[in-house]
Structure 1
Amino acid sequence: MASSCFSPLSLALSSSPIPKSSVKRRQWKPIIKALKEWREYEDAVRDKDLARALRFLKSMEALQLQSSPSPSRPSSVNSVTTYSPGFAGSERDWEVLDTCLNADDMRLVGSAYSFLQDRGFLPNFGKCKNIVIDGTRNVTPTVLKKSTGLEASKLSPEKWGLSGSSRAVLIAFLGGVSFLLSQGIDIRPNLAVILTLATVDAIFLGGSCLAQISCIWPPYRRRVLVHEAGHLLTAYLMGCPIRGVILDPIVAMQMGIQGQAGTQFWDEKLENELAEGRLSGTAFDRYCIVLFAGIAAEALVYGEAEGGENDENLFRSICLLLQPPLSVAEMSNQARWSVLQSYNLLKWHKQAHKAAVKALESGHSLSIVIRRIEEALLSSS
C-alpha cells in the first residue's frame, strides 16, 4: 500500500503566502512600462501632435490614480500634484502646451489647459475672468486721460509716418533722398522699383517682407514683443486658452494671421454664442479686453501705441456682427472702455508682463513663457 508523507519543507512551501516583494514587483510593472513609453510623448511633442500628447498624459494620470493608495488607508504620499516654482515631479506635462500651435481643434487646446489646471499647474489661469473695474461704462477721452495719464490718441494705433518713430524714419528717408538729388545723384529709378516692391508686399503678402526686415531693428522687435506679451498675459488671466504666439511675419502670413505677428487665443463662450447667432455683453467685453491688450501694453511701457491697427480692424468686424450693430460713437466708447480695462490689468500685473516679454525675447516656447508668468505671479502675490 502506497503511503504519502508530507515533509515540513513541502508543507511550508505550499501554504506560505506570496512574498510581498513579488506583489510589489507586479504592481510596479505597469508603471515601469509606462515610463518606457514616455518616448511616445516626446515624439508627440516633437511632432506638435496635441491629441496624441494629451491622450498619453491622461493615460498616465489614470495609471497614477490606480497605483495610488486607497483613500481609506493613511499614506504619507500625496497623490495630487500641485505646482510650485521649484516643482520637478511632472515638469514634462508643461510641454503639452508646445503642441497647441498646430492644433486645428481649439476645443482640444482648451482641454490641454483644463488638464494642466486640474493638475495644479496653472493656478492663475482665468483668475481675472470675472473681474471688471468698477466705474462708468461711458469712458470719454477725458476719463481715459484721468485714469491713465495719457491722451486718447496715445492709446490708439498710429498711422505710419504720421507720429512716433515712423515719422522720424519717414523724415530721415525723405531728407536723404533730397540730399542725394541735390548732389546730382538721381535715385528715382531705384526708388520707383523699391516703392513697387513695397506695394506688392503690402497688397499680396500683407507687408510681411517689410516686417521681416524691420524685425532686424532691435527697438522695433522689442515693441512687437511688448505688444504680443500684452495679448498673451491678458488672455491667460481672462481664462482664454492660448494656441500660440507667432513672432515671425512670414509664419504669420502662412497661418493666415493678419498683421506682422499675432497671439492666437480662444474664447469658448464667444464661439458658442456666435454659432447660436447671438453675443452677450460678458463674452464681448472679455474678447475686447484681450484684443486691446497689445495696444494697452505698448502705451504702458512706451507711453504710446504704434501697433494694433489689425486689432482695431478685427474689433470693428466683430461689432458689425452684433444685432443691432454698434454705432460709430458706441464703437469708440467700447474701444476706450476695453483699452482702459486692459491697461489697468497689465499695470496690476506688470512683473508678469515683464517676465513674458523676457521669455519671448529669449525665444522660449509657449510652455516656458507661461511658466515664467506663473512664477512671476506667485512671487508677487
Structure 2
Amino acid sequence: MPFISLPKPLSNHYIHHNLCFNTNLPKWKTTTTRASSSAAPGVDLNTLQSAIDKKDSSAVKEALNQLNEVGWAKQWSSQPYVSRRTTSTRELTTLGIKNAENLAIPSVRNDAAFLFTVVGTTGFLGVLTGQLPGDWGFFVPYLIGSISLVVLAVGSISPGLLQAAITSFSSVFPDYQERIARHEAAHFLIAYLLGIPILGYSLDIGKEHVNLIDEKIEKLIYSGQLDAKELDRLAVVSMAGLAAEGLTYDKVVGQSADLFTLQRLINRSKPQLSKDQQQNLTRWAVLFSASLLKNNKVIHEALMESMSKKASVLECIQAIEGAA
C-alpha cells in the first residue's frame, strides 16, 4: 500500500493513499464524459469533469452538490453524520470481520513468502551446482548461497528497496490484484459517501492509492489542529480498506499503511487521544466503514470492477451512482 508524506504549507491538495498526503500530484488521464453516457437526461457532468481535471477541490464539491440537488449524485455525502462511540472487538466479529482480534497486527505473509522463496531457491540451486566438476563445484554454490546474505543486507541498509521487491513478488498470489481492487475501492467509496471528493487513484503494484482533495481538512492537518469531527471522518476512510479485506479474507494483508496513516492523523489532532482512546477509535472506524461497505455491497463490487478496468474518476462516480 502507498507511502505517506504529510502536506506542505500552502498546498492546494489533500491526498489519500490509503491516506496519502503529497503535493506532487500525478497527471491523471481523464476522459470527458457526456451526461448522456449514464447520467439522467438533462444532467450535465462536464462541470464535474472540468473540476476534476483542474484538481479544484471546492469546484468538485460544488459540482457534486449541484448534481445531488437535481437528483443525480444521490450517494454523494449520503453519510454526513459520523459519531464515534465505544466499540468492542466482539462487535467487529458479529458484523462479519474475520479474525478481528488480529486486525492491528501487520501481516508478514508477503515478506515470509519472498524470503522463503529466495532462501529455498538459492539453497536448491546451491546443492544442484555443487555437483559441477572441479572448482566450479565450489565457487558457483558459494556465489549462489551469498544471494540470501545480499538480500538480508539490502533489507538492513535500504529497506525500501527490499520492500519494493517484496511488493512486486506479491503479485504471484492469486488474490493479490483482487485484494488491491477491493481495498482501494473501499477507500474511494467510503470517502465519496462521507462527502470527501476524490481526485484520482491507482491500482498499480507498489503505487496503490486513492487520492482525496479537501483544502479545509488539509489545513487542519498541516496546522496540527485536526478536530474530533474531522478525525472521525478521516479515520473511517483510513480503515475502509482494512475493513473491506477483513470482511472477505481470513487475514488482512494491506493494513500496515492504513494504520500508519491513522496514527499520523491522530498525532496531528487536538485534543490528543490516550492509547485506549486510540484503540477504540481504530475499532470504531473499522466497524463503521465495514457497516457502510456491507450496506453498499453492490455499489462496492461495481466500483471494484470499474477501477480494475482503470476507469476515470468520473466513470467511477458514475459506477457508484448507477449501481445504487
What TM-score does the superposition give when structure 1 sets the normalisation length? 0.62
Q: 5 Å matches for 1:82-101? A: 85=38, 87=40, 89-90=42-43, 93=46, 96=49, 100=52
| Matches of 2:113 and 2:285, distance apart in 1 | 30
* Structure with more contact order per residue of length (Cα contacts < 8 Å, sep ≥ 6): 2
Q: Residue 189 of structure 2 is aligned with which of 213, 233, 236?
A: 233
Q: 5 Å matches for 1:101-180? A: 103=55, 105-130=56-81, 137-148=85-96, 150-156=98-104, 158-161=106-109, 167-168=112-113, 170-180=115-125
More helix by share: 1
Q: Once superposed, what is the RMSD of the aligned Cα atoms? A: 3.6
1:3 alignment counterpart: none
Tell me if the contact between 1:157 and 1:305 (Cα under 8 Å) persists in the aligned partners. Answer: no
Q: Residue 177 of structure 2 is aligned with which of 221, 238, 251?
A: 221
Residue 370 to residue 159, structure 1, CA distance change in 2 (3 Å): same
Residue 245 of structure 1: SS of its match in structure 2? Answer: strand
Deviations 1:88-111 (A, max 9, x none): 5556528707x63662x5334434
1:188 alignment counterpart: 145
Tell me if the contact between 1:300 and 1:343 (Cα under 8 Å) persists in the aligned partners. Answer: yes
Residue 107 to residue 86, structure 1, CA distance change in 2 (3 Å): closer
Aligned residue type for 2:94? K
| Shift of residue 180, structure 1, vs aligned partner | 3.4
Structure 2 residue runs of 5 or longer lacking an equivalent are: 1-26, 131-140
Q: 5 Å matches for 1:170-319? A: 170-183=115-128, 184=130, 185-186=141-142, 187-195=144-152, 202-203=159-160, 207-208=163-164, 210-212=166-168, 214-215=170-171, 219-249=175-205, 260-267=207-214, 270-271=217-218, 273-274=220-221, 278-319=225-266
| Matches of 2:182 and 2:226, distance apart in 1 | 30
Residue 362 to residue 323, structure 1, CA distance change in 2 (3 Å): closer
Note if 1:376 corresponds to 2:319. Answer: no
Tell me if the contact between 2:100 and 2:246 (Cα under 8 Å) persists in the aligned partners. Answer: no
Tell me if the contact between 1:156 and 1:295 (Cα under 8 Å) persists in the aligned partners. Answer: no
| Shift of residue 148, structure 1, vs aligned partner | 3.0
Residue 213 to residue 138, structure 1, CA distance change in 2 (3 Å): same
| Matches of 2:112 and 2:49, distance apart in 1 | 43
| Matches of 1:277 and 1:168, distance apart in 2 | 39
| Shift of residue 182, structure 1, vs aligned partner | 4.0
| Matches of 1:101 and 1:213, distance apart in 2 | 34
| Shift of residue 189, structure 1, vs aligned partner | 3.1
Aligned residue type for 2:146? P
Deviations 1:59-110 (A, max 9, x none): xxxxxxxxxxxxxxxxxxxxxx9x995635556528707x63662x533443
What TM-score does the superposition give when structure 2 sets the normalisation length? 0.72
Residue 175 of structure 2: SS of its match in structure 1? Answer: helix
| Matches of 1:290 and 1:153, distance apart in 2 | 20
Tell me if the contact between 1:231 and 1:291 (Cα under 8 Å) persists in the aligned partners. Answer: yes
2:309 alignment counterpart: 362
| Matches of 1:206 and 1:274, distance apart in 2 | 31
- Identify which range, 327-336 or 87-96, moves more after superposition: 87-96
Residue 210 of structure 2: SS of its match in structure 1? Answer: strand
Q: Which has the larger radius of gyration?
A: 1
Residue 276 to residue 196, structure 1, CA distance change in 2 (3 Å): closer
Residue 230 to residue 48, structure 1, CA distance change in 2 (3 Å): closer
Aligned residue type for 1:113? L
Tell me if the contact between 1:214 and 1:220 (Cα under 8 Å) persists in the aligned partners. Answer: yes
Aligned residue type for 2:267? L
Deviations 1:163-217 (A, max 9, x none): xx654554454433443344434412334455556667743x6944653554475
| Shift of residue 272, structure 1, vs aligned partner | 5.6
Residue 244 of structure 1: SS of its match in structure 2? Answer: strand
Residue 270 of structure 1: SS of its match in structure 2? Answer: helix
